[in-house]
Structure formats: structure tokens, C-alpha cells
Structure 1
Amino acid sequence: MPFDPSWLIHIGAALLLIAYAIRDELKLRLLIIVSTFIYIAYYYLAADPPLWDAIITSALMIVINIIVLGQIVLERTTFRLDPDEKALFDAFETLTPGQFRRIAKLAAWRTSDEADGVILTREQEPSDSLFYIFEGTISVEKADRRFRLPEGNFVGEVAFVLRRKTTATTIAPRGVRFVEWDSKALRKLSDKYPNLGNALNALLTRDLARKIGASYRPDDAMPADKQSEALLETAQSAP
């Protein structure tokens, strides 16, 4: 018994109906692509000559859906992130991979190469940048006291979130790797994507709370009787 191409229409339509009933966009797009391929098979087999106009139109629909499918995959996975970016993404625990990619595009990766170190922020001065210490330890100076802040911390988050002057001077010694974002560009991105902005603020607030609960060891030069007081003060006024 010869195959009846009309069955392809029914199969394609059934898959399309199932696709529209699915809320997960990734699965929806996949089913639409499969359904469209089945329609193309029908347009090729059902008529002589094949229905080329319908085939071409359907092929264009497949191309568009594949492009969107690729965007969805990038939004949900760390595919094509280099090792450093993947390590940085682990620190941005409140962001999705897609949100992180947008922030990563604005990031400037830097290494301190100055003998006296690179000044990231100055106490009681405006800051135009947000920093993340990727490798190494920086020094934090406040009210003539000095502390060390290890990698895995943000610098300038209070100034960024509250839009005020920084509360400490921070210096990245030679060899320290850090990531820098322009504050204005980051705020503009947050305004454009409110969910991203909320996730970023939650991350920075969490980082500040962790600093308040932590104890960073002061330099040996600090008098011992001042250490506990200074640790608390620095955590409460983290840069």
C-alpha cells in the first residue's frame, strides 16, 4: 500500500499543537522545527512538481527558529565562556548565564603592574567603577588603618548601589588581577533589564553582608589593641 503524504500534515499539525501547549520555550522551538520539517516533506511529496514556494517559506521559518534556539541555549548555559569567565560566573550566583553574558561584555580584565600598586578607590571620593578581585589580595585603608581583602570580593559596591562616595581607599598590589565595570554603563544595563538589575543588587548586597560577618586580618603594623575595633569598622563600611 503506497504511503499517503496527507498523514504528514496530521503529524506535523499534532506536533505543532503540542508545541503551543508547552511553556518551556526551548522544547517549544524544538517541536516547531521538527513539525516544520514534516511539513516540508509533505510539500515535497504531495505534489508534482513539489510546492517550492511553501518549502522555501518553511525553510526560512526553520532558520529563524534555529537562531532563536541558539539564543535560548546561550541564555541557559555557560557554553563558549572561557575558563576565567566561567570562574567569574561562579561568583555571580544570583545571575543566570544569559544575564552574566551581558555583564561580561562590559567587563575590563586588568592586572596591576605598577610598583606601588593600582588605586581602585579613594576614601570619600566618587568612584566611576565597580571592581571584583579575581586573583590576589588588595589592601584597604580607612581612617589611617590598613586591612587586607582577599580575592573573591567586590570593591566599590556600596558606592555603586547607594550612589555615594566610597568609604575606603583600596589598592591592588602588583600582580593582582581584577575585573572592572564602568558604573554608568552597568546602571544603564540594569535599567534596560530590570531582572538583571535586581539580581545584581542582590549579589552586591549579599557580598556586603558577607564582609560584615567576616573578619579580615589587619596588617602587622596595626596596634593589637585596635585590631578588633578596626575589623568591625571596616566590615561595616566596606568599599
Structure 2
Amino acid sequence: MYQQIADTLRDQITDGTLAPDAKLPTEAELKEKYAVSRETVRKALAMLVNEGLVISARPQGHFVRRRQPMVFRPQAEFRKRPYSPEMDAFMTEFSAEGREPRQVIEVSIVEPPADVAKRLHLGPGDLVAVRKRVRYLDGEPFNINDSYYPLSIVRDSEIMRPEDIGRGANEVLAELGYRQVRALDELYVRMPTPDEARRLDLGPGTPVAQHITSGHTAEGKPVRVAITVLPGDRHVISYERQREVPEEEA
């Protein structure tokens, strides 16, 4: 029965009968309407909370979650844009949209995870600098972006500072002599690790997409591995593709 109640409320949210920020009927009202126990009602509401459709704001009640997903465009990374000299691409783009972006940045020197070491062609004992970021929009943690660099090439550079880099870390690498001209993108869809769930404040049952980018120079040297974790209830991943037209068809 709790599934039937959840289905009915879900349909009302989907078709707009229950609009964003609308308050759902109280547990007592649902209990009386469907002639079920309070525990059954709570199971139905918990399903919708786990699906990211509803938020619980006790003691006020349950409300339809306002969804304003972030559009994540991996192909836009190397495009030139008039970014602010004070703020990096993420901060500039979403400030322009009228949203409130914020990010918490931590920088440390670590032994790389095995998969990162493999992508960066590092040997035993080689260290990396990692910039760990949690990005927020309108006060909500939206995604994680952890970027790894061989310590030997970024030591003493701006990449080692836990602050926004207005022109971007990619441009800093280029100034150091390691301009990236090719990137390999990998996408995985999975459940979050406990650490990711903690950093992103994820509810039970929320899947994530993991986007791994490996950046290479013209000589084929890998100089950066960026791992972005995108909660499935907060993102749209948008890829743009363009067919190359043969000269004889042009």
C-alpha cells in the first residue's frame, strides 16, 4: 500500500499538481485518506525522499523539492571564455545565471590512488598534488571535483594554493610548459562511496555519475587527472558532437 501512495504522490509531482515547494498532505491526512497506519505513510514518504522528489523539513512537514539541475558540459573545458580575473569558470558561469556558487578547496600532497597513478604514468614513490573541491549552488553541495597533478611539475605554482584560479589550472599548466591538447573522458554510473555521500550530503539510494578526465600534452604526456562526482538528482550531462564533413562534401 505504501508503494501505491508513493505512486500517487509521484504522479502529482510529475504532472505539476503538486508544484515545486508545495507542502504535501500531513502524515495524519494521508493516514486518514488511505485508511492505513502511520508507518505505511512514513514508508511512502521515505521512498519519495530517497528518490530526491521530496524533502523532509520537520516539524513543518514534507515539501516538493525544487529542481534546478546543473548542466555539466565536459566538452566546454578547453573553450576560451571571458572568465573573471577574480573567479574561476565555475564561479563566473553560475554567478552570471543568478545563482549563488561557492566552493571549498583543499590542497594536499599525497601518494596517488592506483588508478590515478596509472593514468598519470607514475612510478612507485611518485607523489601528486591534489586539489579537492566541493562545489555548492544556492547552499547545496552539487558536485565533487578532485584534480591530481604530478608534484614534480606543479610544485611552487598557483595550483598548490587552496583558492580560485581565475584563468584556470589548465592555463597555469600551459604556462609551466604543459599545455593540454587532448583529453580522454570516461563516464561511470554507480552508487557513491561513504566519503562521497558525506561530502555531498546524499540521501540513501542516490546514484552518482563519475567523470574522469585525463589531460595530455602534444607529446602525449599525461599531466592531469580530474575526477568529478555528479549526483544523479542534481545534474544533466550534456555532450555536443559535430560530424566532420569530408572535403569532397564541403
Would the TM-score normalized by the shorter structure come out above 0.5?
no
In the superposition, the TM-score normalised over structure 2's length comes to: 0.27
Structure (1 or 2) with the greater strand fraction: 2
Q: Which has the larger radius of gyration?
A: 1
